Amino acid sequence: RSLVKIASAALCTLALSATSSFAADPVKLRISTPAVESDWHAKMLTVFKDELEKTAPGEFDVEIHLNASLFKQGTEPAAMQRGNLDMAMISAQDIAKQIPAWSVFTAGYLIRDPDHQKKVFNSDIGQKFYKMVADDMNIEILDVGYLGTRELNLASDKKITTPDDLDGVKLRMPGSDAWLFLGNALGADATPLAFGEVYTGLQTGTIDGQDNPLPTVKAVKFYEVTKQIVLTDHLVDAIFLSMAKDTYDDLSAEQQEKVQEAAAVATAYNNEKRIADEKSLVDFFKSEGLKVYAPDVPAFRKKVQDAYLESEFAQDWPDGIVDQINAVK
């Protein structure tokens, strides 16, 4: 009898420790990004982590890996799909490699501004495109963040007015077809290079320029190795805070809700900071000795829009999608 008691007590302890260790084990969320610490979308990851710590104390262990130290730029979706990474901030260009319809969001001069971007992705259009990513890539997009409006940033001080002025300019773009197409559509000679190598490329002259939003030009100090910023406004860029669907599906409904809420708080923080920065940074770059001016933007818009509409990319866009995006007010 006492043996039975001892045995059942032992079982009880086992069961208890199994439950309590399960409850105490936080869900590890490893995030990889090429972003540098001082850029807003890197800081937004800390906001995400802090928010989760507040709303779900001890339930998550968010690990942030910056500077592409965990996975190379552009390889994050595959890493999430293989089960090697839980979260990343992925681009429309990354997604378009696997879902060609997504290339519509890589087209220059389509999304008008950050407000339009948020509204498009919060609408049925966004829901439909997010579902494609969940179904075809097994990745859950939590929210869209505004990466900023991309501008040209060149090492030479030759005045740029129209796309013809970029003839022969070796313009670094991130390494994928969709990115290179955009660089060439602007009139430059697009050349691929990883984000982490751009500063040295500009410094040593292996590239003549790069394109990025102004807050990133500041965060990575590209202004130290360039002479001008041409305000082409060619791409209102987005970054999608995402989670491997297997990781997401393993969370409880309550945890999923907290993750969604934390993502919304984080992207709101990023967007507010970036939009404010974009308004004030022109003066900063001028004070650093750079020329900052607007070219003939309608000439760039026409060249780029024509290039996309005639491209093979456009053949994969859902019927009527450009009109639907334009109609979002």
* Position among 29, 59, 60, 73 found at the interface with ligand KDO (CB under 6 A): 73
151 touching ligand KDO, by CB under 6 A: no
Interface stretch with ligand KDO, choices 33-41, 124-132, 183-191, 201-209 (CB under 6 A):
33-41
User: What DSSP designation does 105 have?
Assistant: G
Distance between CA 169 and CA 181 in Å, rounded?
15
228 is a contact residue toward ligand KDO (CB under 6 A): no
User: How far is it, in rounded angstroms, from Cα 169 to Cα 207?
Assistant: 8
* Vertex 326 angle, CA 282 and 240, to 5°: 65
- Is 106 a binding residue for ligand KDO by CB under 6 A? The answer is no
Pairwise CA distance, residues 80 & 188, whole Å: 33
Taking the least distance from each CB to ligand KDO, the nearer of 100 and 175 is 175
As a residue count, the chain comes to: 329
Closest CA to 237 of 257, 222, 217: 217
Candidate list 29, 30, 31, 34; residue touching ligand KDO; CB under 6 A: 34
Please report whether residue 290 would count as binding ligand KDO according to CB under 6 A: no
Out of 29, 30, 39, 313, the residue judged to bind ligand KDO by CB under 6 A? 39
- Bridge-partner residues for 210, per DSSP? 153, 172
For the chain, how big is the Rg over CA atoms in Å? 23
3-state secondary structure at position 213: strand
Residue from the set 149, 212, 228, 247 that interacts with ligand KDO by CB under 6 A: 212
Q: Which of 44, 47, 71, 91 binds ligand KDO (CB under 6 A)?
A: 91
User: Quick one: DSSP state of residue 108?
Assistant: T
From the list 29, 30, 31, 33, which residue makes contact with ligand KDO (rule: CB under 6 A)?
33
> Could you tell me which stretch among 27-35, 110-118, 160-168, 272-280 binds ligand KDO (CB under 6 A)?
27-35
71 binds ligand KDO (CB under 6 A): no
* Cβ contacts of 2 within 8 Å, gap of 6 or more: none
Q: Taking CB under 6 A as the rule, does residue 35 contact ligand KDO?
A: yes
From the list 149, 151, 46, 152, the residue with the least C-alpha distance to 89 is 46
Q: How many residues bind ligand KDO (CB under 6 A)?
A: 10
Residues lying near ligand KDO in the complex (CB under 6 A): 33-35, 39, 73, 91, 174, 195, 212, 216
